[in-house]
Amino acid sequence: MKGMLASKQTNQLQECLICKKEKENGIHLLEYFICESCESALVSSDTSDGEYREYLDKLKKVRDSLFQNKRRIH
């Protein structure tokens, strides 16, 4: 273990939109950041988990922003 909490400056940690944890790896949607573990949770088709619906709800907001943004660009 590398002392995750203390090493904020070595890697560019960003707060995940969904789990609110600071992660190094993930994807960016506009100004939002989603860590790779949440991304894989979203991509996985296991919808029996109640948390998944929370993920979807949050991701919808991100998608709405994306679509609005694209419409303005195109």
DSSP H helical ranges for 1-74? 36-43, 50-73
- Give dist(CA 62, CA 68) in Å, integer: 10
Out of 18, 32, 55, 59, name the contact with Zn ion by CB under 5 A.
18
Given the complex with Zn ion, which of 44 and 68 has the nearer CB atom?
Answer: 44
Instruction: Decide: helix, strand or coil at residue 46.
Output: coil
Given the complex with Zn ion, which of 4 and 71 has the nearer CB atom?
Answer: 4
Total of chain residues touching Zn ion, rule CB under 5 A: 5
- Say if CB 20 and CB 33 are below 8 A apart: no
Q: Is 59 in the site for Zn ion (CB under 5 A)?
A: no
Q: Which residues bind Zn ion (CB under 5 A)?
A: 16, 18-19, 35, 38
